Amino acid sequence: MSIVKKLIRNALWQALSFLPKQKKKAVCQSFYGRGWSDSPGAIGSELLKRGWRVYWTVKSGEDALTLPEGATPIISDSLRAIYHQCTACAWVDNARKWGYTKKRGATKYIQTWHGFPLKRIEADAEDALDGSYVLAAKLDSKICDLFLSNSSFLTELYHKAFWYDGPVLECGFPRNDMLFGPAGPVEEKVRELLHLPGNKRLALYAPTFRRDMGFEAYDMDYARVCRALGERFGGEWLILAKLHPNLAARAGELSLDPEYVVNASGYADIQELYLACGALITDYSSVMFDYMNTGRPCFLYVNDLEAYRGDRNFYFDLDLLPFARAETNDSLESVILSYDEAAQLERTERFCKELGIRENGTAAEQAADWLEREG
């Protein structure tokens, strides 16, 4: 964006923020303009049910195609988007708003955040963050009216490391509400949209990104994993590979054999992939904690553990995690073949109790209740 356009955008925010706020009007956003997804999408759906007007910021027309009936797309940073944000009585976002955002008047802003963290984040990793992001994050916490949490651990972390001292609603992540519902219809939708065969069981591979944005760590042997899943759980398997949003646009650089793996990085809502997939393989990503709600097999492939630990370090010892861990393709095959459902369940219950994790499928309702009560 040119300097002139930035100046105009900033001036519009300053001027339009004085406009009166409209009741039961919300502007929601997921990861700076992705399609309908994550916790803002879940809250947006609940607000639509309650008769709210819901606007959703998007980067492109393709993102707009993911919106449900009744939701209105607005292009990020457009005059129309700024107007609707400045006249809405509610904002819902899962990532930090930038420093030029101006919030005045009666608007209530819910920050849902986007995951239960394993690696250190925000103030606890400030040295690894860009300075402009840190400034924006501090402003975001200042203008936020409510953070959503899924645990006593995360609630404490918000107050310790997010430059935030306001209220927290410990209700779970709204995006996970669907994981407490039926999987069949969602699996059918995923198979249809990704053109997947109906005779293969699905597993999800969802690793996080590395600081250098490289692909060296993504050396999982897809064919070997599919064979191991088949031997342990039965049937033929297909892996859906979904890269982190920071790398999704470059997913084509991965060498993928369509017999064993399909690129699902462009699929907007990863929660739908959770429901469609009978197993998850990840590394240090917070997706493991969301998927934990399904009770299904989860495996950690961490072939660069010491390097990653040295980069960001972790909030707790990896041995506390409920999931089997592997550092090579040999050991990944071994932990899949030796998967023990009862052992994972027992470890999961112990982990949730220790960190105060609570999810019950009603988070979106509780967030909407708060907006209607406080707005």
- pLDDT at position 210 is 78
Looking at the whole model, is its pTM more than 0.85?
yes
Q: Which DSSP letter does residue 48 get? A: H
Q: CA-based Rg of the chain, rounded to a whole angstrom?
A: 21
Nearest to 369 by CA among 67, 49, 107: 49
CATH 3.40.50.12580 fits 182-355, yes or no: yes
The order of strands in the sheet holding 108-111 is 72-75, 53-58, 22-29, 88-93, 108-111, 146-149, 168-170
Instruction: Give the total residue count for the chain.
Output: 375
For residues 291 and 268, the answer to whether their CB atoms sit within 8 Å is no
Q: CA torsion, points 360, 244, 136, 375, in degrees to nearest 10?
A: -30
Residue with tokens 């399609």, as numbered in its chain: 35
Tokens of 217: 């760590």
Containing 276, the helix (H) or strand (E) segment is: helix 270-276
Domain boundaries, the chain: 3-173+361-374, 182-355
- The residue ranges of the chain whose pLDDT is under 50 are none
Residue with tokens 């995690």, as numbered in its chain: 321
What pLDDT, in 10s, does the model give residues 96-138?
999 999 999 999 999 999 999 998 999 999 988 999 999 999 9
What pLDDT, in 10s, does the model give residues 242-299?
988 777 778 777 778 889 999 999 898 899 999 999 999 999 999 999 999 999 999 9
Greatest Cα pair distance in the chain: 63
Give the C-alpha separation, 77 to 176, whole Å: 29
Containing 147, the helix (H) or strand (E) segment is: strand 146-149
Tokens of 318: 């990896």
Containing 366, the helix (H) or strand (E) segment is: helix 363-374
Residue with tokens 């990085």, as numbered in its chain: 265
Give the C-alpha separation, 253 to 330, whole Å: 24
Q: In the CATH scheme, what is the code of domain 3-173+361-374?
A: 3.40.50.11820
Containing 354, the helix (H) or strand (E) segment is: helix 341-355
Q: CA torsion, points 322, 177, 301, 241, in degrees to nearest 10?
A: 160
Nearest to 241 by CA among 275, 206, 276, 209: 206
- pLDDT at position 250 is 80
